Amino acid sequence: MTSKQTKRNVIIVDDHTLFRNGLRILLNTLEDYQVIGEASNGKQFLELLEKNVPDLVLLDINMPVMDGIEAATIAQKLYPDLKIITLSMYGEEDYYYKMVNAGVKGFVLKNSDIKEVKTALDVVYDGGSFFSSELLQNLVASLKSSSKSKESHTELSEREMEILILICQGLSNQEIGDKLFISKRTVDKHRANILEKSESKNTAQLVVYAIKNKLVEL
């Protein structure tokens, strides 16, 4: 059992008080997490960070004063190791790529149940990226229909393409290694090469890049 001293600290940033209150209550029921701060806009969020940098942030996109995109961009520059998960609604797919470029590590629908929120927190805390399945489907549909979508000229080897597909399916490096019968270290090297070739900063950006450039079909 996780002691109170080792709980992971979370800040919630959303301009809807009732939503924040409900999410705080749910998160505080979890054994491993506790909410240490709340903000109703990006400016308040940045002010909170000056006093206490949390383990994780749940950040809304559309907010007054300063939106989630600007707040995430500034926060990640000031605190590069900060782990941000976007709180999203249907119809906000156009913002996903901007949020990923800002450095967020995950996307969760606002109507997700607490189990999915906890999964997202666990995955991102452990260094991974998380897209709820419904959001990923919406993202695929949105990027496929976008006039900006194009065939990619990124040259990936056959093995790199295999690994890219598995990354986009949410598998960890160890799981990919087990599936392809290669070592985790080999997967680490391939992942680094894929990130470099695609000019992606992290896995979340790589997933969006792969879909946007029609490298994978999910």
**Which domains occur in the chain, in start order?**
4-143 (3.40.50.2300), 150-212 (1.10.10.10)
Q: Which residue type sits at 205? A: Q
From residue 104, alpha-carbon distances to 6, 136, 182, 202, 204 in Å are 24, 15, 30, 9, 8
Res 84: pLDDT: 96
Looking at residue 101, its pLDDT comes to 81
- Give the pLDDT confidence of 82-113 residue by residue, as tens digits: 999 999 886 666 677 788 888 898 889 898 89
pLDDT tier for residue 14 given thresholds of 50, 70 and 90: very high
87, β-bridge pairs:
60, 108
Token pair of 122, please? Answer: 């666990």
Confidence of residue 138 (pLDDT cuts 50, 70, 90): low
pTM beyond 0.85 = no
SS (H, E, C) 13-58: ECCCHHHHHHHHHHHCCCCCEEEEEEECCHHHHHHHHHHCCCCEEE
pLDDT at 147: 44
Categorise residue 8: left if φ over 0, alpha if ψ from -120 to 50, beta otherwise. Answer: beta
Looking at per-residue pLDDT, the higher value among 199 and 180 belongs to 180
CA 46 to chain centre: 19
Give the pLDDT of residue 1: 41
Calculate helix-pair angle for 133-145, 203-212, nearest 10 degrees.
40
pLDDT higher at 209 or 27: 27
What mean pLDDT do residues 20-43 have? 95
pLDDT of residue 3: 44
Tokens of 87: 């709180």
Instruction: Tell whether the model's pLDDT for residue 182 goes beyond 70.
Output: yes
Q: Number of C-alpha atoms within 13 angstroms, CB side, residue 190?
A: 24
